[in-house]
Structure 1
Amino acid sequence: MAKADKRTPDQQKQGAALREEGSKWLARVEAAGKLEKQWMDDAERAVKAYTGQTKSDDLSTSATLGNTYDFNILFANVETIVPAIINSPPAPDIRRRFADEDPAAKDVAELIERAIRTQVDDSKLQVELEGEAQDGFLAGRGIIRLRFKSDIVKDEATSDELERASDAAADGAPAEEPGSDETSGDAYGAASQPGAGPAERLANECIEFEAVSWRDYRHGPAKRWKDRPWDAFRFVVQREDEDAVFDAGLISIQTNDQEKKARGESGSDLTGWEIWDKSSRKVIFIDDNGVVLKKVDDPLGLTDFFCIPAPVQPIELTGRLMPVNPFSIYSKLADELDL
């Protein structure tokens, strides 16, 4: 009878430790969700009222489904407030703090301002900010995150490299691959060997902005945003892309042969949490079964580590990070207005 697990004892031990770590993170995320359950329920009711599905006191049962507002004051309020708050993308204004006579500092300030302007002048930030504001004034919390994007390109061969390759071929010597160099490095800083192919480098580096649904965000316990220990974001990846997106070797040592077969035959998407752990300055991807899919060292290199600023919450209380759903405050008034 074939062994059900072909992993070595060391791999099984490492896999068990990773699965335990994944389970602990899932427990923390679940606890964070339970802590904010009341607000999430209020936010769901507000979304249904906003979209005309139900009234504020309607729980969408089969008996009450379709009992909607004739005069939807929530929709009117949100559609009035959001354009007033976000009516244009921010305009960068970078200058010397003390306006000293320093030409070099002036040039650097102008360079930074132009770089930021290039990041925000394509209207993409405007769209994401509107989404953040809508979530903030509809659900009670709006979130926008940063993502670093780049392309990995191969350096084109220079005329000197082509000439050297041609001379080497004429002399019968092995030709050095155009674009390769003993001192060149790939995208991860590893040195490229002569003849290993054109050197790779990062190009088109930019920061992209992405509004995150309030349903897909959790955070660690704290009384101030700057003190929270971790953030978590929900992700969904096609099962076919699992090996391309995540660390296949890391997944392999955590799963036995039966689990590997089940994962390969599964037709459902891969879902889980992307956790930003400030203490270790790592990003950890964990699926809903507690399997650690990938670990990434600090991808952005920001001082405060996290990829989001403090979320937008129209109603805030000192020492409390859980938001308040704005509509829950005046929902009874909305019912009275709907004559």
Structure 2
Amino acid sequence: MVDAPNPEAQTWQRWKAALDFALKDKKYTEWLQKCEKINKRYRDDREAPAEIRRRRMNILWSNVQTLLPAVYAKAPKPIVERRFLDRDEAARLASTILERTLSMQLEVSGFHDATKRGVLDWLLGGMGQVWVRYEPQFTTEVEAAENTRIQTQEQKSSNSEDKIQENGDGTPYQKLAYEKVCVDYVFYKDFLWGSSRFWTEVPWVGRRVWLTRSEIAEKFYKGDMQAASRITLDTMPERLRDDKGRFDDGAPSFFRKAEIWEIWNKADQTVYFMAPGTPDIVLQQEKNPVLQLQDFWPCPRPLYATQTNETLVPVPDYVEYQDQAAELDDLTGRISALTTALRANGVYDSSIPQLARLLQDGQDNKLVPVDQWAAFAEKGGIPGAISLVPIKEIADVLLGLYQARAQVKSDLFEVTGMSDIVRGQSDGGAKTATEQRIKGQFASMRLEDRRSEVARFCRDTIAIMAEIISEMFSDDSLMQMSGVSQMFEEDVKRAVEEVPPPQEPEFPPDMPPEQQQMMMQQAQEQAAQEFQQAQQQAAQQAQQKAMGNFQRAIEILRSDKLRGFRVDIETDSTIAADLEADKQGAVELVRSTFEGLMGAGQIVMQAPELLEPMGQLLMFAYRRFRVGRTVEASLEDALDQMGKRLQQQQGQPPPSSPEEIKAQAEMQKQEAETKRDEQKHQFDMQAKAADFEMEQKRNAVELAKAREELEIERERLAMKREEMEIQRETMLLKAQIDAQSASMRAEASEREHMLNRESAEHGHDLNMQTMEAKAHAAQQQARAKPKEKA
């Protein structure tokens, strides 16, 4: 009898094969090997003793440290606006709620740390990624009469503060205490995708995490440790491996973790959790997951470096200039070796060990005794017994290596686009501001592409966060996190203050004072009661209006279609903030608003029917300034009140005489001119103050720039002085050696001359002795001849 197939085992085998196929892809494995080498070079990890002694220039670390703050220096601010900048109260409130909630969640979600780590992976290995998830927190409470449990996903769109559903079985219920969106950093080795040519073809994505047994039990088995014990713990820290890479069986068990893959398959809209080390077990399988995201993925399109159209596997930037970097390391090593060799070295005759003391003792004007001087002199003296290594040739080669390294750095910067203006340096002579600006513009062209890619990555991540907040967060959480409840309180307070106070009653002049006083008291009590009722009614109406706007705003956020049609999500710059631009925008907003109000006031006085189109035109221009969004509603209310007052004025009877009309018009004209002059004076003072402050900041920036340039020039001069000092010491050393060599040669020549003179004198003595001996022999021979004759 054949056993029935196990669906869970088939699912595990299917995804185990998919993971193995993706992990063993040739391009992917080669990319991982390159990333590992690049990370070691960035950290400057050296294992072999020869590598430790070798001098290198870590240009990779320098480039990454320069690019990282240039493309991502701070977390962006979310910007949620109406897609069409018209007067849509519900859409404006929805934008305000979502923007404020996003701003709060960005601070607690870990967005900045995860994004910065992802950007670093992108600059090093060529890919960076984050993962977005929804994390609610509950408090467990016991209710005696009636207990409830967590509200289901179908009821999350309703207006419920506790997100609970009646259960009635007497069990404890969970109440929502807090909810947030978490942004997790995903290491480049822990992110995987299905085989595809470009991102829109990706069939599935997955990330890898390592969990302990207790974490597995809590996440997948509701705290059941016995059920979690089936999962194999196959991972331990690298430091607990033995020499052969095997895990140490004697290590504590709490160090062990299981490799868990979270896979999102777009084809069947299902999320799978599986452990490759535990066969035939799927930890969790969720069809149509709770996060019904528009693009399904809980992660944005990754940050990719250089790519081609046939694969998603990127090419790290370092690969494109690794040859130049290796050449820099080689030149730096040679420079270090020659610098060490730039000293007086040489060889000497080992039969005369006293010669080694001449340069080792470091003393001047000292004579060293030498045994067997005659034999030493016959060998040529010191010039014949000592030979020094040439120093001038080494110094010339060293200067050539410095020039070659500078040229290689120039070639490398040309390849990477990392010009000296990006690094804040300036070589050569003085350059004009125009030359520097043009150079900076061309240098920032490739940098701007990187900034745009990081901004896109942040925008996609924030869009996923906004989608989770809109669909998952309760109404109460949205109200508390966005602070709209305080806005509603201010609206109610304003409505109560706008209620007109009661007027004093009028009585006939012939009414007795006692009766007037009694009726005055009754009228005041009745007026106070009516005024209080009017305030309560105004407060209720304002509260109902605010809650109605809030409910319409929530409907927009809950609906995918309405949110897409009426709300637009963007981000501001992820690089360093431009405070001057923000301040200039605020000044321009104030200037244009004042000018528009003054101009509209003069026109409306002559033609009241133009109030509404003038107000719409003013608000159309006002909404273009993002810095003025907080007072947009107040300005609209002010324009509405102005229109109401104008209508009331039009409904009043005209003055009795043309003279009064002319006098009133003249007075209004004078008041308008006075007010306009005051506003103009105030605006001029504000503009002058702003210009003065901007001038001070500009002078401070120029002073700081001049100081930096002066410091750079000082460093260059210091390096020049060091180079001249090295050359001077080299020349002095050469002169000393030449002087010593000449002295030794002179001393040797003098000794040779003395020896020759002594030899000559000795030869002369020998000749005299020989001549005397010959004369003596001749005398004896002469004396002997007469005797022979006799």
Normalised to the residue count of structure 1, the TM-score between the two structures is 0.76
SS of the aligned residue for 1:120 comes to: helix
**For residues 196 and 53 of structure 2, what CA distance do their matches in structure 1 show?**
39
Alpha-carbon distance change, 24 to 65 in structure 1, aligned in 2, over 3 angstroms: farther
Aligned to 2:145: 176
Moved more, 317-326 or 94-103: 317-326
1:250 and 1:278 map into 2 onto residues whose CA distance is 31
Contact 1:229 1:277 in 2 (8 A): yes
User: Residue 317 of structure 1: which of 299, 308, 313 is its match?
Assistant: 308
Q: In the superposition, relative to structure 1, how do residues 64 and 145 fare at CA in structure 2: closer, same or farther (>3 Å)?
A: farther
**CA displacement 1:223-245 (0-9 Å, x = unmatched):** 22132111111121112433222
In structure 1, the residue matched to 2:468 is: none
Q: How far apart are 1:292 and its partner, in Å?
A: 1.3
1:121 is paired with a residue whose SS is helix
Q: Which amino acid aligns with 1:287?
A: A
**Secondary structure, in 3 states, of the residue corresponding to 2:98?**
helix
Amino acid corresponding to residue 150 of structure 2 in structure 1 = D
Tell me how far apart the structure 1 counterparts of residues 64 and 181 of structure 2 sit (CA, whole Å): 29
- Give the aligned partner of residue 119 of structure 1: 105
Matched, 1:287 2:278: no
Q: Rg bigger for which structure?
A: 2
Do the aligned partners of 1:49 and 1:69 also contact (CA within 8 Å) in 2?
no
Partner of residue 160, structure 1: none
Give distance in 2, aligned partners of 1:243 and 1:68: 51
In the superposition, relative to structure 1, how do residues 192 and 103 fare at CA in structure 2: closer, same or farther (>3 Å)? closer
Match of 1:202 among 155, 167, 176: 176
Matched with 1:276 is 264
Name the stretch that deviates more: 327-336 or 147-156: 147-156
**1:116-142 residue CA offsets vs partner (Å, 9 max, x unmatched):** 111113483211111010000101100
Cα offset, 1:107, TM superposition: 1.1
Match of 2:31 in 1: 39
- Determine the C-alpha separation between the residues in 2 that align with 1:69 and 1:37: 30
For the residues of structure 1 that align with 2:54 and 2:222, how far apart are their CA atoms?
49
Q: Per the alignment, do residues 280 and 335 of structure 1 end up closer, same or farther by CA in structure 2, a change over 3 Å counting?
A: same
Matched-pair identity in %: 25
Provide the rounded CA distance (Å) in 2 between the counterparts of 1:225 and 1:213.
19
- 1:155 CA drift (Å): 6.3
Q: Report the equivalent of 2:137.
A: 151
Change (3 A) 1:153 1:213: same
Q: Which amino acid aligns with 2:36?
A: E
The amino acid across from 2:319 in the alignment is S
Q: Which amino acid aligns with 2:177?
A: A
The answer to whether structure 1 residue 24 and structure 2 residue 2 are counterparts is no
Q: CA deviation at 1:262?
A: 7.7
In structure 1, C-alpha distance between the alignment counterparts of 2:95 and 2:141, rounded to whole Å: 31
How far apart, in 2, do the equivalents of 1:248 and 1:148 lie?
A: 18
The answer to whether residue 11 in structure 2 is matched with residue 49 in structure 1 is no
Change (3 A) 1:124 1:247: closer
| Structure 1 residues 273 and 194: alpha-carbon distance in aligned structure 2, compared to 1, 3 A threshold | closer
Q: Is the 8 A contact 2:217 2:223 kept in 1?
A: no
2:273 maps to a residue whose letter is F
2:150 counterpart (175, 182, 186): 186
Matched letter for residue 269 of structure 1: K
Please show how residues 122-141 of structure 1 align to structure 2 within 5 Å: 122=108, 124-141=110-127
CA contact (8 A) 2:126 2:306 kept: yes
- Contact preservation (8 Å) 1:276, 1:306: yes
Encode CA deviations 1:31-76: one digit per residue, 9 max, x unaligned: 112221111111111001011115xxxxx7x686647763111111
Aligned-residue Cα RMSD (Å) equals 3.4
Equivalent position amino acid for 2:13 in 1: S
1:195: how far off?
Answer: 6.0
Gaps of 5+ in 2: 154-163, 234-248, 333-790
Q: For residues 215-266 of structure 1, give each alpha carbon's deviation from its aligned partner in whole angstroms, at most 9, with x where no partner exists.
A: 111101222213211111112111243322224899999x9xxx95987x99
More strand by share: 1
Counterpart for residue 172 of structure 1: none
State whether structure 2 residue 220 is matched by structure 1 residue 246: yes
**Residue of structure 2 equivalent to 1:74:** 60
Amino acid at match of 1:333: Q
Residue in structure 2 matched with residue 307 of structure 1 by the alignment = 298
Q: Does the Cα contact within 8 Å between 1:285 and 1:292 map onto a contact in 2?
A: yes
Shift of 1:197: 4.6
Q: Please give the alpha-carbon distance, in whole angstroms, between the structure 1 residues aligned to 2:152 and 2:215.
A: 22
How many residue pairs get aligned? The number is 296
1:328 and 1:285 mapped to 2: Cα distance? 35
1:154-212, Cα deviation, whole Å (9 max, x unpaired): 4697xxxxxxxxxxxxxxxxx615xx3xxx54254685333625542333221111110
Q: Does structure 1 retain, via aligned residues, the 8 Å contact 2:137–2:177?
A: yes
Give the equivalent residue in structure 2 for 1:227. Answer: 201
When residues 33 and 64 of structure 1 are mapped into structure 2, their CA distance, relative to the original with a 3 A threshold, is farther
Report the equivalent of 1:165. none
Q: Is the 8 A contact 2:217 2:225 kept in 1?
A: no
What SS does the corresponding residue of 2:185 show, helix, strand or coil? strand
Cα distance in 2 for residues equivalent to 1:185 and 1:222: 43
> For 1:68 and 1:280, how far apart are their aligned partners in 2?
55
Letter in 2 for 1:17: P
Q: Find the counterpart in structure 1 of residue 459 from structure 2.
A: none
Q: Distance in 2 between matches of 1:44 and 1:229?
A: 27
Q: How far off its partner does 1:29 sit?
A: 1.2
Q: Which has the higher helix share?
A: 2
Corresponding residue number in structure 2 for 1:99: 85
Compared CA separation, residues 67 and 234, structure 1 to 2 (3 A): farther
Q: Cα distance, 1:86 vs. partner?
A: 0.9
Against the structure 1 CA distance between its residues 308 and 329, is the aligned structure 2 distance closer, same or farther, given a 3 Å change threshold?
Answer: same
Check whether the contact 1:238–1:270 (CA below 8 A) recurs between aligned residues: yes
Q: 1:248 to 1:295 in 2, by over 3 A?
A: farther
